[in-house]
Each structure stands twice: as structure tokens, then as C-alpha cells.
Amino acid sequence: MNARRLWLASALVLAPALVGLAAEKDVYGDPLPEGAKARMGTARLRNFNYSNPLMTPDGKSLLTVTNAGLMRLDPATGATTGKINSPFFGTPTLLSTDGKRAVNVQYDRVVVWDIGSSKEIAKIQRRTYSNEYSASLSQDGKTIAIGGVGDRMKKVPVTVVVWDVEAKKELKSITVPQNESANVVISGDGKTLATWGYHSNPDAKAPLEQDTDLNRIVHFWDATTGKQLGKTRVSGYSPSSVAFNPNGSIAAVASGDGSVSLIEPATGTEKHLLLGRTRMGRMVTFSPDGSIVVATGEDGAVQRWRVSDGTRLSTTEPPAPSIYSTRVRVLDNDRAIAWGMRGVATLVWEVPSGKLISTAGGHTGGVRAVAVTSDNKHVITSSDDGTTVRWELGTGKRVDAVPFRVSGEYFGSPTVSAFSSDGKTALVRDSIGGLGVHDMSNGSQLYTIPTPSNTTAMGNFSPDGTKVVQVCSSYDFKKVPARVTVWNVATSKRLGNIELPGYSQVAAAVTPDGKYVVTAGTKPSEKGDANEFVITGWELATGAKKGSLSEPSGFNNPYVAAAGDNQTAAVVTSKGQLIGFNITTGAKTKTYDVGRRNPGAVPVFSPDGKNVAVVCQSDYGPAPSAPVLVLEWATGTTKHTFASPGMTPISSAFSPDGKWLVTGSPDTTATVWSLSK
């Protein structure tokens, strides 16, 4: 056999293995869990604790707390590049200029520690408001200034203190004019302070004068003597951010209304007034040589000005709308790195080019609803971020976005709460709390199902997608009864209504034939000494009560799904058990073994009704995962067990041909699981 034939034969032998290997990764090259066919979106830089990461001064790493502890992450890929053995829980509040020291601000203490050795350098017992301006380090990390809170009723004044970090001793305490709280920033050389804060005057009989309102004033101090230097008044209601240039000769003061003033601290003289966009100045900072000042806005935009003459140099738009908590690291006069949160995703981009550094694509909020199209080719996902996307089922590649047209004024983004089984219809919470029924071919709203006053509505579809189950509940459930109403999707006619006085945490489902409704929820027991969890079958047309089952109430949310036999239902009880319930007799037909972890989402039946998919709550630890089980309904036999990475999935759906199961996760992704084996 010659070399060419040998290569060809080897290639044919290896081809299946290579195909299998390729199937084990998503479109970004990240590994898929065992049994998964595809992943829609990406889990890169998705944080569950909504904590904005902190970037190292060199712009090369993000520091954030994960289940595995405080980690270094690559801003481009989200990959872990190292673990920091932090002595404290939580992401550091700030870092020293060289990135070697970290500061953690807590309610009653401020701690400075060494990142390399994880050893505590200094701990100052002091009450502060835990925000990014509660403490400030000098450029060499040897001096720290700490803000504080007072007690106006007890006549305890507000002070800021300056400490020698290495000597662990207080250098100066300064009483500020504000009587509630004080923020503080120290200059790089440790010689000058800027303070501002909250001041109240409950005895005032008229609005405070703008020129003397202490909420609007920034004071500058000599950090070594405590002598007050200059002061400046902002044009907004209160300063939003203050920063010194490297030598402390200029301070940038953001007014919170879009303008940034460049001030001489020694005199309070304004050198330049920089006009930015609305609410610009959530954060201000200088370039390393002090020649450029940079500010971030509430919309995620970043603006740059030249310090010498106040000329605006650039405005960089964020890579996506509604980015909050935007921060920036200025690396040099020509480049900065900005980052901020959108939903649970951290986005990182360059300034002034606007080039996205972090991974693009996918949702930025949890996947609230999933469906597989009737041709078994596409997955549709809808997220808390207000977007709905169509994907290729087999590859996870994005196809297009589905626009939504919501009638009338709408506050916030429309988010799908449920899809019909074929993905052709969706339920969307509308602007007045009703459930909008939408045509998924173009996203237009067909009609809205009104919600009774003093209640909130949730909704789901019947297994065949022809009916909507509307569940209305009230916070004042002792006075306002919960209500379950079933509607015909095509005719928009009400098919039946069930009232549940005294019920809270109600879940409901309708049988495929539309004859029965199953409800589950918590209500006070008839004896009145405890709550009980009650499951009830109802005849939809008449509202007649059929079978019922009750037990002492637990702490889990109830979930209900009607089986394809029109006689039984899968119910997750308030004690976290998955049981079979006979609708007409009220008998518990079976208790299904789901292991030690309770179900954490609505059970879903396969199209033929023979199997039920159950998502269980995730575990804890460095690499948490949630069991996804597919059980045979008749016997309870476990046919498939998958481990979904991260937090508990919040949505799931079978494909119409029954060959695939799709789960949607809080980490912004959806996963396609193979049921062929």
C-alpha cells in the first residue's frame, strides 16, 4: 500500500472519531457536556451574582467571584487563567496601581491584602457604605483613605480617615461638613483628599439653596494636616464620581447630569467645564500621564477629553444597549478598556475603537422559554434580556432574531414566558400586566388576555398549543382569590374558570383534550393551625371539583404538567417530590425517584406522552451542575440522565419528533440533548 492509500485508509478509520470529537464542542470551541448535541449562545463571562468584575490595571485580566472562588478570567474568552486565594469572600472593591494589593470594603471594616501571598496587610475596623468610593489607595498602595458614616440623632459627626497601610496606624482624621455619610478619593501621591456625601436637614422648611446644599459640594483637603483647601459645587443633585490626575494638581468632578468639571483642588477653581452626554460621569479617570480624562455614562458610552484645553476627543458607543455599571481602565493616551454588565453578561470593549473584546453572540439574560419548530430543524429561545432568537438545532448556529410588536406603550423589553409546543405561538407579558398572544412568524401581537386587578398573571400552553392556561394570583391572597382560566388560542374564547380562595403559589395545567384542569398550591388548612399543599382535579366546562390530594406544606415551588393520557398529571409538590396524580380520583399513582435533588422547573411530557423530562436543582461547589432526567411515565424508569452545567435550567421542551430535549439556563444558553441512545 502506497503512502497516499495508507493516508486515505487512516482518514476513513479516523473520520467517525473526528466527527464525534467535533460534536463535543459548541460553535465557540467550548466543550459540551456528555449527551449534548449543541449549545445555543455562550456561557463565557456570564456571572450569576450580578457582581461587576474588577479589571487589573494592565487590562489583561478580570477578577470576579465564581463558585470556585476568586478567579482571574481572560476578557476575550472568559477562560480561567488562575485562581486567587482571597482571604475574603467577594470581588475586591479596588486594586493598587501596580495590581499587587487589593482592598475589600465591608460594612464594618476595610481590609488591604496582598494578592500574591493572600496575606492581610492591614484591617481597619470602621463603618462605611460599601461602595467603590468608600476607600481609596495612593498610587504606591501605602496610604489608604476611608470614608465613613455618622449618626445625626446621636450627634456623631462624619469623618474620613487616612491610614498608613504598612505601619497599620491612623495618620489623620478629618471631620467633614456632611452629617450622614462621606465618600473619599485620595490623590496618587497621597497628599490630597476629595470628599463628598449625603447631608440631611429634616427641620428645613424650604428647599435647600443650591450654593450651600452640602449634598452638591465636593471638599478638598490636605491629607497630612487636615486643612480644608478648595471646594466646588456640582450642577447636578450630587457628585457621581471624582478622580485626581496622577500628580494631584487637577480633579475631575462629575456632576451626575452629564457635565464633568476639571478643578484645581488647592483653590476650587474650575479650569474647564466638559459637556458630556446625559448622565455621563458614572466613573471618571485620567490617562497615566494625566493628559486625557475619560468618563463613562449610564448608557455604557465612554467619552474622552484633552485636559489642556477641554477638547472632546471621542465618544465610543457601547457594543449593546442597556449596559450598566460601566467602568474603564485607561492604558495609554490612545487606548482604554471598558467593561460593564448587561443582564448577567459582562461585555468588554476597546476605547475609542469600540471593538468588542469579549465573546459576541447569544443572549445576555437567562433563557426563559424554549421550543423546537415543527420541522425539527430549529430551536427558538427567549431571554430575560428581551430578545428572541432562532437557532439551528443540530449546530447551535444563530439563524435570526424574532422581532416583537407590542401594541400600546410598553415599559421594558417584551419577554416570552412560554411557547406553544411547535413554536408558532408565544405568550408575552404586555405593558399592563396582561398576557399577549403573539404570532411567532412575525412577532405581532394577536390579542391580549386581561389580568384582573390586584393580581399578577402567569401563563402556559396546553400540550398541543391550542389552549392557554392563565394563572392569576395576588399578594393579598387571603382577600383576593387565585384564579385559573383556560382560553382557546384560535378563537380567543374563554373555556372555563376556576377560583381558588386563600391559595398562594398556584400552578396549573390543562389536559390535552381540554376536559380537566389540575391545580396545585398552598393554602391554610381547614384546622387553621398550619398550611397544607393541595392538588385538585377540576372539570373545566362546569368547574366541578374532581379528585383531590393534600399533605402538609413544604418550601418548594409547585409545578404541574398534564400527561398525554388525559387522566394523570405530573406534580412537583411543595416538599420537592415528583408524583403522579390521578385527576378524577385524587390518588397518588406513583412517587418518582429523582435522587436527592428536588425538581426545579415544570416537568415536560414527550409528544407521545410516554416520557417526562424533569430538571432538578443544581448542586454546589466549584463546578455545579443540575441533573436533567428523562423518565418513563408508566414505570418511573430513568431512560436518560444529563448533567447541565451551572445553575438549574428554567425551561425545557421536547422536539416534535421526540428525538431531542432542549433546556434553557440562567447562564444565557440553551442546550440540545440527544435522546436517541
State the CATH architecture for 252-263+271-360.
Answer: Beta Barrel (2.40)
Q: How do residues 574-619 score in pLDDT, each as one tens digit?
A: 999 999 999 999 999 999 999 888 898 899 999 999 999 999 999 8
Query: What is the pLDDT at residue 322?
Result: 82
Class of 363-445 in CATH: mainly beta
Nearest to 241 by CA among 326, 163, 175: 326
Burial track 179-203 (b if 16+ CB lie within 10 A, e otherwise): bbbbbbbbbbbbbbbbbbbbbeeee
Q: Where are the domains of the chain?
A: 53-91, 93-233, 252-263+271-360, 363-445, 446-674
CA distance 208 to 222: 28
| Fold (topology level) of 446-674 | Methylamine Dehydrogenase; Chain H (2.130.10)
CA distance 629 to 652: 11
Q: What is the pTM of this model?
A: 0.88
One fold for both 93-233 and 446-674? yes
Number of C-beta neighbours around residue 409 at 10 A: 7
Query: What is the pLDDT at residue 431?
Result: 63
Which CATH code is given to the segment(s) 93-233?
2.130.10.10
Query: What is the pLDDT at residue 201?
Result: 83
Please check whether residue 456 is in contact with residue 474, taking contact to mean a CB–CB distance below 8 angstroms. Answer: yes
Query: What is the pLDDT at residue 125?
Result: 94
Q: Which residues, in sequence order, are bridge partners of residue 487?
A: 468, 494
DSSP letter string, 228-279: EEEEEE-SSSS--EEEE-TTSS-EEEE-SSSEEEEEETTTTEEEEEEE-STT
Name residues of the chain where pLDDT drops below 50: 1-22
CA distance 586 to 158: 65
- Sheet with 467-473, edge to edge strand ranges: 456-461, 467-473, 482-488, 494-500
Q: How do residues 246-258 score in pLDDT, each as one tens digit?
A: 999 999 999 988 9
CA distance 9 to 260: 70
* Structure-block grid coordinates of residue 376: 425539527
Query: What is the pLDDT at residue 411?
Result: 54
For 81, 481, 516, 524, the CA distances from 501, given in Å and listed in that order, are 55, 4, 19, 10
Please check whether residue 126 is in contact with residue 109, taking contact to mean a CB–CB distance below 8 angstroms. Answer: yes
Query: What is the pLDDT at residue 231?
Result: 96
Query: What is the pLDDT at residue 513?
Result: 93
Please check whether residue 317 is in contact with residue 332, taking contact to mean a CB–CB distance below 8 angstroms. Answer: no
